[in-house]
């Protein structure tokens, strides 16, 4: 594939950073979006450059429409129209339903789902003109099977699946594919915060007997963005090591 402009939301660490490094190794231009950790974003940019890619860091709250407009304006001016969009930004605010506050619900929906709508809509303008584009959103097995204490998170991730199927039908005739990668338990800062007891227990339920790596998720994202996957759209690829089994 010729070098493309790739925008990855929430790319300063974890899965997002691994995706950025994966695309950088293929020679693409990488726009690294981050919420507030400037130092982590700078480290990710250095890793992208070391892998052979061009890097641009842009701070933006992707749940805010004005911020998203500014994000795409900056990327467009510095690199060109976004050709591959990876909607990766995500947070958790876990709690049982009877204890879950409205802010916990709204924060997760805005960051994890509203951002997918805002960024996809902004990216589509250039993709429709080019008659080519890739939109890949990072979902979760929680959005497919649910998880106690994560009604907000599961709702957002399930929403991404429905959104992607609908959008795939809208834009498929213009050479744009829209897909979801749904990771299981992946070794990131987010899962590390759950504690060793929780992660060890999770590993016991996984067919492969271990947590996945961000790089393994990045490989699936990279595949869906490639020309090899040009006839795949509206699909959800589960990368969970057999957890759902």
Name residue 33's beta-bridge partners: 58
- Residue 134 DSSP SS3: strand
Q: At what angle do helices 214-225 and 14-25 cross, to 10 degrees?
A: 50
Of these residues, 117, 153, 223, 231, which one is catalytic?
153
CA distance 241 to 184: 7
| Euclidean distance between CA atoms 58 and 9, whole angstroms | 9
Q: Is 117 a catalytic residue?
A: no
Q: Are strands 5-8 and 84-87 parallel, antiparallel or unpaired?
A: parallel
* Residue 75 DSSP class: H
User: Coil, strand or helix: which one is 225?
Assistant: helix
Provide the 3-class DSSP secondary structure of residue 220.
Answer: helix
Tokens of 178: 């829209």
Whether 31 contacts 82, CB under 8 Å: yes
Tell me how far apart the 2 most distant CA atoms of the chain are, in Å. 51
Active site residue ranges: 153
């Amino acid at each position: 594939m010729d070098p493309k402009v790739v925008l990855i939301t929430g790319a300063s660490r974890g899965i997002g950073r691994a995706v950025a490094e994966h695309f950088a190794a293929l020679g693409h231009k990488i726009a690294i979006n981050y919420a507030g950790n400037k130092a982590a974003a700078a480290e990710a940019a250095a890793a992208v450059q070391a892998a052979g890619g061009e890097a641009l860091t842009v701070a933006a709250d992707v749940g805010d429409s004005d911020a998203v407009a500014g994000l795409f304006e900056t990327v467009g001016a510095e690199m060109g129209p976004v050709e591959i969009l990876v909607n990766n930004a995500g947070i958790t605010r876990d709690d049982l339903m009877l204890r879950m506050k409205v802010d916990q619900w709204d924060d997760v929906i805005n960051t994890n789902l509203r951002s997918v709508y805002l960024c996809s809509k902004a990216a589509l303008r250039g993709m429709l003109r080019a008659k080519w584009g890739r939109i890949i959103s990072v979902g979760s097995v929680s959005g497919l099977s649910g998880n106690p204490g994560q009604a907000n998170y599961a709702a957002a991730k399930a929403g991404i699946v429905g959104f992607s199927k609908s959008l795939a039908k809208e834009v498929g005739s213009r050479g744009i594919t829209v897909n979801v990668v749904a990771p299981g338990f992946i070794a990131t800062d987010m899962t590390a915060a759950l504690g060793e007891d929780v992660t060890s227990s999770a590993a016991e339920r996984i067919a492969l007997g271990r947590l996945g790596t961000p790089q393994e998720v990045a490989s699936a994202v990279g595949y869906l963005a490639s020309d090899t996957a040009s006839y795949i759209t509206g699909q959800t690829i589960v990368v969970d090591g057999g957890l759902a089994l």
